[in-house]
Amino acid sequence: MPKIKVQRMENIRTMPNVFEWSDYNSKNPFPKGTWNSEIFRNPNPIVLELACGKGEYSIGLGKLYPEKNFIGFDIKGNRMWVGAQRALQEGMDNVRFFRAYIDHLDQFFTNKEIDEIWIIFPDPQLKKNRKKLTSQKFLELYRPLLKKGAKINLKTDSDELYYFTHEIIQEHNLILHQEIPDIYEERSSNPDLSIQTYYEQMHLKRGRTIHFISFSFD
């Protein structure tokens, strides 16, 4: 592994705004249900950015909505370091990062603790539907953790993931809030969609179309 990656992985362990978890069978579980009372120390809504990479969405939304709390979630510590470092430098109290597998999200959040989820350019997992972050398996993981009406927002360049998610919404009678086949053609005035991540910039340079879809369980 390149030296800089190793350094960043070690460095995030010392950062006050980063949590890291790897022992999913630990006898000392994560203190679920304390995000508002102990970690953010405010009653504000909690928004997750899944597959956060360098955390551009947690930082960008954190600035747009200082009255909300944001947690960037990913397994890659060297990417997360970039966002965590920036949040510290900019003194952002409403942003945290969590390095762990999303598959274990229910070990870190209690029922109805989360107000919204953003899934930003996740790996499309073309060959394995179960691994897609909007598959039935993952939706059942998120469902109990979400407050009533909590939205799940997906931004992707993958046609397959976009249409797959659309089908899941229809199959399971979920509530579709918005779908934009091409956010740049639409010229959406939604500032949330104008935040560009590392992967989005890469896809745009390659002429890819960026899709957006937003839905909820109830």
Compute the distance between CA of residue 95 and CA of residue 55 in angstroms, rounded to an integer: 10
Residue closer to ligand SAM (CB basis): 40 or 121? 121
Interface with ligand SAM, residue 96, by CB under 6 A: no
Choosing from 34, 66, 101, 178, the residue that interacts with ligand SAM (CB under 6 A) is 101
Backbone angles phi, psi at 26, to 5 degrees: -60, 145
- Total number of residues that touch ligand SAM (CB under 6 A): 18
Residue closer to ligand SAM (CB basis): 170 or 190? 190
Least Cβ distance, residue 80 to ligand SAM (angstroms): 8
Of the candidates 214, 202, 209, 204, the one whose C-alpha atom is nearest the C-alpha of residue 53 is 202
Phi-psi region of 97 (alpha: psi -120 to 50; beta: other; left: phi over 0): beta
Is residue 157 part of the annotated active site? The answer reads no
Least Cβ distance, residue 214 to ligand SAM (angstroms): 16
Compute the distance between CA of residue 170 and CA of residue 183 in angstroms, rounded to an integer: 22
The single residue listed with the structure tokens 């409403």 is 94
Residues 61, 95: contact at Cβ < 8 Å? no
Interface with ligand SAM, residue 76, by CB under 6 A: yes
Choosing from 103, 106, 115, 123, the catalytic residue is 123
Binding site for ligand SAM (CB under 6 A): 51-53, 74-76, 79, 101-103, 120-123, 197-200
Residues catalogued as catalytic: 123
